[in-house]
Amino acid sequence: MTTRTLVAPEDIDRIDLADPSTFVEHDLTEVWRHLRQHDPVHWQPESARGPGFWVVTKHADFNAVCRDTTNFTSERGNVLDTLLQQADSAGGRMLVVTDGPRHVKLRKLLLKAFAPRALHVVTERLKAVTRRLVGEAVERGETDFAKEVAAHIPLATICDLLAVPEEDRMDILALTKQTISSESADHTAMDGWMAKNQLLLYFADLARHRKDTPHADVVAMLAGGEIDGLPLSEDEIILNCYNLILGGDETSRLSMIGAVEAFATHPGQWRALRDGEVTVRTAVEEVLRWTSPTQHFGRTATHDTVVGGQAVAAGEIVTVWSVSANRDESVFELPYTFDLARSPNNHVAFGYGPHFCLGAYLARIEVTTLLETLRELVSTVELRGPAERIYSTSLTGLSSLPVALVPT
């Protein structure tokens, strides 16, 4: 792994938060700490990548922006990649970039697929897949946990939810990865765009097929769904499938990989979990806080407003950083301590307000299942070789994590 250099707070204006390499090359811990204390709503100036934008780092301001649907919109994008273009082609049609009453109705429709009863079958399969993959990794002795275990778990789950045929799943995984992050610095916006188009075409085909055949999965539900008495357009069906696969795969995967890395580097905490001294419930929340896989998202101001005492003008971009809000010392005691017994744990890993993660319940089941399986099958987790970080501005975490999972 490229060793990350610690950026001193005074160098904040020399780093570009819209550049994926920033997060591979630099450790921003001191920058976030400094910003929370001295400049909690910081202005990152314009660059060749696009206009300047606000950088919100404190927990309270993060929540204030997320719940303020009067002064902010998601329809012009919700991550820097689209916000800097000042448009999202899916705005008003894909759940996460839709505002107002249409968002509420679309969310209600999709929520049916995430009801605990609907998730029962998916959960049972998830448990079996997790157990098989962790079991095989334990038998092998050494494994790249990111590539050989975590890569397959959330994708299998979301594909079960969407009833994606088994033979298409490896292609879907490759395309999903290319869409928002990358394992290499050579990844271009064009690669991401091509991958996104291929995914959309794939779901267009699937939805067309499902419309004509009896199915009970999410794709079929969207294809047969109505809002205000009208069916969803083909675009809406496709884009919302895309939202689920994109929202549901890499995020959960990164939190699982981050969990295993944290267990290897905090053996005392791992032992406490393994020996039942802490509950899996509090451990899952701490893993989510610690890893904060969606490191930022954002909004565009629709009116002149104020965030954390800072005037924000209509049209300006406001980004909120969960990697910082989840280390806010005014909310979390010893925020830089990985404490699996932490309670309360009001982390914002799933966002806040009307766009609060639709898949949070499922994501928690996924991480819970992983932790329970590790507890049962593994005695120690040891790092073996260098880890690799993903190239992304919106997500953070590892694309490769060689470890030994030593059996109990």
Smallest distance, Å, CB 252 to ligand HEM? 4
Q: Which residue is nearest to ligand HEM (CB)?
A: 359
Q: Are strands 142-144 and 72-73 parallel, antiparallel or unpaired?
A: unpaired
Position 349 contacts ligand HEM (CB under 6 A):
yes
Q: Are the C-beta atoms of residues 396 and 292 closer than 8 Å to each other?
A: yes
Nearer to ligand HEM, 81 or 138 (CB): 81
CA atoms within 13 A on the CB side of 167: 0
Residue that the structure tokens 């079929």 belong to: 220
Q: How many C-beta atoms surround the C-beta of residue 93 within 10 A?
A: 21
Smallest distance, Å, CB 358 to ligand HEM? 4
Piece of 197-205, 230-238, 250-258, 262-270 that binds ligand HEM (CB under 6 A): 250-258
Q: Are the C-beta atoms of residues 181 and 79 closer than 8 Å to each other?
A: no
Gap between the Cα atoms of 145 and 249, Å rounded: 15
* Cα-trace Rg, the chain: 21
CA atoms within 13 A on the CB side of 189: 9
Among residues 20, 91, 248, 397, which is the contact residue for ligand HEM, using CB under 6 A? Answer: 248
Nearer to ligand HEM, 138 or 363 (CB): 363
Nearer to ligand HEM, 12 or 335 (CB): 335
Binding mask 96-125 for ligand HEM (x = CB under 6 A): x----------x------------------
Piece of 126-134, 136-144, 220-228, 247-255 that binds ligand HEM (CB under 6 A): 247-255
Position 290 contacts ligand HEM (CB under 6 A):
no
Total number of residues that touch ligand HEM (CB under 6 A) = 27
Gap between the Cα atoms of 143 and 389, Å rounded: 17
- CA-based angle 118:119:122, to the nearest 5? 125
For residue 50, give the nearest of 32, 12, 76, 31 by alpha carbon: 76
Position 73 contacts ligand HEM (CB under 6 A):
no
The first and second tokens of residue 83, run together, are: 């916000």
Smallest distance, Å, CB 379 to ligand HEM? 26
Q: Peptide bond before 40: cis, by omega within 30 degrees of 0?
A: no
Among residues 63, 176, 269, 294, which is the contact residue for ligand HEM, using CB under 6 A? Answer: 294
Query: Residues for the chain: how many in total?
Result: 408
The first and second tokens of residue 351, run together, are: 């966002």
- The neighbouring-strand residues paired with 307 are 310
Nearer to ligand HEM, 74 or 324 (CB): 74
Among residues 241, 358, 381, 401, which is the contact residue for ligand HEM, using CB under 6 A? Answer: 358
Nearer to ligand HEM, 20 or 247 (CB): 247
Residue type, 242: Y
Position 71 contacts ligand HEM (CB under 6 A):
no
Site for ligand HEM in 142-171 (CB under 6 A): 158
Binding footprint of ligand HEM on the chain (CB under 6 A): 66, 74, 78, 95-96, 107, 158, 243-244, 247-248, 251-252, 255, 288, 293-294, 297, 349-351, 355, 357-359, 362-363
